[in-house]
């Protein structure tokens, strides 16, 4: 009897919490969306359960080649990219991209509650990717540089201020680097994306734990 009651209460709390989070994900952080100078474009795309911030490599505001070696990115790196996509996630789940149900559950639970660390995923694109949902927003120079600084601060650096390659993807034009920050049920890859977008004054959901919420609110920003 006690076990049944405990299970019932646990299920009720879980269902109620999840429903509340879904409701909060529909609410924007700011109701009044302000227009800003369209000096550079920041894009966001959704790939599976993850979202990524996509920025141009070379721009008169900032050149990412000052921070990254493009030939270090991807399975067959040529460095011939025009855009970079940045994502942040758990070091065991994110690079593995598990497909088997048991592996998804095992690595997923470990990532949410017992993460061993985080990684930055960097993917090179010759042009803006259109094979997944993507939304772009024009931002001012100052706000773009705020996001650039946020992304760079997410990388773990050596004492010589160099980024640290973790592993290259065998399936895409992406590489993973050691990152700062602790992945958890309270801060996942989509929360990270939303944090980076807010640095550029882009409106995001009140709770950004699911990719659909991030994409929906980005699409509501002035294009």
Find out whether 127 and 82 touch, Cβ atoms under 8 Å: yes
| pLDDT band, very low/low/confident/very high, at 109 (cuts 50, 70, 90) | confident
pTM: 0.86
Predicted pLDDT of residue 164: 96
pLDDT in tens, 151-167: 999 999 999 999 999 99
- Residue 94: left if φ>0, alpha if ψ -120 to 50, beta else—which one? alpha
Number of domains the chain contains: 1
Helix, strand, or coil (residue 157)? strand
Sort residue 48 into left (φ over 0), alpha (ψ -120 to 50) or beta: left
On the 0-12 / 13-18 / 19+ scale of CB atoms within 10 A, 73 is: buried
Residue 17 has pLDDT above 50, yes or no: no
Q: With cut-offs at 50, 70 and 90, classify the pLDDT of residue 215.
A: very high
Q: Copy the structure tokens of residue 113.
A: 């509650």
Alpha helix stretches (DSSP H) within 51-204: 101-114, 141-153, 189-199
**Concatenated DSSP letters of 5-46:** HHHHHHHHHHHHHHHHHHHHHTSBS-SSPPP---SEEEEEEE
Neighbours of 121 (CB within 10 A): 23
Residue-averaged pLDDT of the chain: 84
Query: Angle formed by the axes of helices 189-199 and 141-153, to 10°?
Result: 150
Question: What is the domain range of residue 67?
Answer: 2-219
Name, of 25-29, 107-111, 166-170, 197-201, the range with top average pLDDT. 197-201
Please give the average per-residue pLDDT across 74-80, as a whole number: 71
- Neighbour order of strands in the sheet with 83-90: 134-139, 40-47, 50-56, 83-90, 118-125, 174-179, 165-168
For residues 184, 212, 42 and 62, what is the CA-based torsion angle, rounded to 10 degrees?
Answer: 20
């Amino acid at each position: 009897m006690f076990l049944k009651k405990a299970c019932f209460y646990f299920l009720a709390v879980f269902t109620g919490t999840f429903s509340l989070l879904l409701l909060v994900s529909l609410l924007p952080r700011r109701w009044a969306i302000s227009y800003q100078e369209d000096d550079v474009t920041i894009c966001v795309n959704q790939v599976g359960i993850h979202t990524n911030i996509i920025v141009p490599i070379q721009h008169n505001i900032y050149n990412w080649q000052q921070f990254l070696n493009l030939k270090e990115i991807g399975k067959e790196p040529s460095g011939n990219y025009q855009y970079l996509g940045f994502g942040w996630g758990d070091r065991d789940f994110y690079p593995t991209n598990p497909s088997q149900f048991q592996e998804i559950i095992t690595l997923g639970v470990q990532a949410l509650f017992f993460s061993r660390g985080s990684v930055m995923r960097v993917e090179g694109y010759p042009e803006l990717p259109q094979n997944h949902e993507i939304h772009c927003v024009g931002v001012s120079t100052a706000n773009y540089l705020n996001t650039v600084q946020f992304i760079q601060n997410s990388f773990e650096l050596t004492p010589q201020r160099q980024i640290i390659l973790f592993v290259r993807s065998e399936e895409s034009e992406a590489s993973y680097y050691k990152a700062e920050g602790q992945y958890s049920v309270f801060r996942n890859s989509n929360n990270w994306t939303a944090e980076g977008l807010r640095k550029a004054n882009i409106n995001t959901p009140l709770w950004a734990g699911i990719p659909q919420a991030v994409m929906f609110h980005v699409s509501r920003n002035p294009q």
